[in-house]
Amino acid sequence: MTTFAVCVQIVEATRVIQDLFVQNVLDAQERGISLDPNLSAEDSTDLADVLKDPAEEDEDEMGSQENLTGKGSDQDPLQRAEGDGKSGEDTAMSSTIASVNQLVSDISGMTYSVAEMMANKICKLMAARDEENSKSAIKDFISLHSKASSFVKVIELYSARTHYTMKTVLLAQTKIFIKLFHEEKGKDLAMKVEQENWVPTQVPKGIQDLVYVITQDSGVPTEVKREYVNVLTASVDLVYDKTTSIEDLDQAGDLNLEAEMKQLDLNDQMKPPNQYLMIQNDKFVAVGISLHFVKTIGLYLHCAKTFTGLTPDIFTKLVEVMKLYNSRVCQMILGAGAMRSAGLKNITAKHIALASQTIGIGLKLIPIIKSSLSDLFSEKQKLLLNDLDRIARDYREHQSELHSKLISIMQERLDVHAEKLMKINWDRPSDKDIPDPASPSTHMITMVKEIATLQKVLNRYLPSDAAKVIITKVYSSFVERLETDWKRLDIFTSNGKNR
């Protein structure tokens, strides 16, 4: 049993004693019995008769001579006491009420003292464990925060005043926890971006359900909410390699999905991981860092909704994390940093397309985050949400640069092939340039293959609309360049012109 539970039980036990005493006093007064502290033995017997269970009293009266004669059943306790020869002079109601009020006051004071003592003890205990609590895992700290908050409510209820000291201690520790949590997540995210080898990975069901909860926020099945908590509070160490599978993730300790599903006691079998990450109606090809980023956002949103007093501060830190993510991805792909940190031989069209999808996931989540946190902010605080609009603009610019990079790569290839085509003697081409007179030149065949490869990559990793825009620009630039270069050629023979 936790310290919070023990203290609450002590305070509640004291309050129960008070409530029982007051209830018995009121019951006795309603029945007309004096509660003077100088009660005689006979009076005490009468008081016990009055306070016993009404059902037992009815049974006694059913078998009494008074009931048989029709007497006594309609008499109240005071009249019956007078009928038994008791003197009305023994009843001193004014003195009794004063005595009862004093006793109630004494017990109330005791309840207040016990509540204060317990609150002070807990404050000292939490202060002594300040560093340990602040460095706790998020699951443990949320549990501590929940129990401490509940304890504060109980103490305030029984002591009838706001306990600022305990609230201040709890708020201070929560601020330190959020600060350390943010530092840890920032370093972890930066490290994982640098280690990412940019290969597609499957999406575990737990991550997909997390996205489902973030996007829906209401009307979510209970079992999904429970699994969402399991996913959030699990330790994260995603496996970033080409063979990443559900078994790899389980063995790595990231998401023990099979155990979670058994715990949820669901009837359906373990669902296989998804090939795409679904966010509302859009699907994205994910890499390891994409999944880690989604989970990090989920953790920040969970903290914002749990520690409501610090929601603006947590939101500011979430904005910093999203900016960090965008800049690090840019450094790794457009800045070619992944060649040093992750050991990539070169940055290919596939890597660029996957980076575009990674940024696209964040871009898709931004309006969802804004909507999710809007209700937690006051009208004045909602101005902070404009930061998300600026981040969305940065993400779109980054994605546009990635798409432009794909086009520029093909432009570079076009320059190479166009230069070689210009050097061919079209009147008397060599066998190396044109092995078969009925076939195109080797350079043209290579160029077409490269365009086809690009289109295949785009169709596999990018949305159809984005792929269409990019490939259309590539085709247009190729046609325009080849037409211009062709007009510059000096061709004299009919064979050369016919080519």
Q: Give average pLDDT by consecutive 10-residue segment, the chain, 499 residues.
A: 56 58 58 48 43 47 45 47 47 58 68 73 77 82 85 76 81 92 94 95 90 70 49 41 34 36 38 83 94 94 91 95 97 94 92 96 94 88 93 97 94 88 76 72 86 93 94 92 83 69
Task: State whether 361 and 425 are in the same domain.
Answer: no
Decide if 31 contacts 76 (C-beta within 8 A): yes
Task: State whether 359 and 270 are in the same domain.
Answer: yes
Task: State whether 166 and 204 are in the same domain.
Answer: no
Task: State whether 11 and 127 are in the same domain.
Answer: yes
* pLDDT value, residue 267: 36
Task: State whether 205 and 343 are in the same domain.
Answer: yes
Please give the Cα distance from 282 to 464 (Å, whole number). Answer: 11
SS3 336: coil
* pLDDT value, residue 299: 93
- Among the residues of 424-441, which ranges form H helices? none
* pLDDT value, residue 120: 78
Q: What does residue 278 show for φ and ψ, rounded to 5 degrees?
A: -95, 125
Please give the Cα distance from 383 to 364 (Å, whole number). Answer: 21
Q: Pull the structure tokens for residue 25.
A: 């006093």
**The domain boundary residue, chosen from 118, 143, 171:** 171
Task: State whether 207 and 324 are in the same domain.
Answer: yes
Number of structural domains the chain divides into: 3
Task: State whether 327 and 243 are in the same domain.
Answer: yes
Task: State whether 267 and 396 are in the same domain.
Answer: yes
Q: Pull the structure tokens for residue 387.
A: 């930061």
* pLDDT value, residue 340: 93
* pLDDT value, residue 472: 94
**82 Cβ contact list (under 8 Å, min separation 6):** 88
Task: State whether 235 and 371 are in the same domain.
Answer: yes
**The domain boundary residue, chosen from 400, 426, 446:** 400
Closest CA to 421 of 406, 441, 407: 441
Left if phi > 0, otherwise alpha if psi is -120 to 50, otherwise beta: which for 185? alpha
With tokens 């007093």, the residue in question is 309
With tokens 């109630």, the residue in question is 104
Please give the Cα distance from 340 to 487 (Å, whole number). Answer: 44
Task: State whether 225 and 340 are in the same domain.
Answer: yes
What secondary structure, in 3-state letters, does 197-245 show? CCCCCCECHHHHHHHHHHHHCCCCCHHHHHHHHHHHHCCCCCCCCCCCC
- Confidence (pTM): 0.70
Decide if 337 contacts 201 (C-beta within 8 A): no
Q: Pull the structure tokens for residue 24.
A: 């018995």
Please give the Cα distance from 472 to 23 (Å, whole number). Answer: 85
H and E: helices and strands count for the chain: 21, 2
**The domain boundary residue, chosen from 385, 400, 415:** 400
For residue 408, the enclosing domain spans 404-498
Task: State whether 369 and 443 are in the same domain.
Answer: no
Please give the Cα distance from 105 to 111 (Å, whole number). Answer: 10
Please give the Cα distance from 433 to 427 (Å, whole number). Answer: 12
Task: State whether 372 and 414 are in the same domain.
Answer: no
Decide if 325 contacts 394 (C-beta within 8 A): no
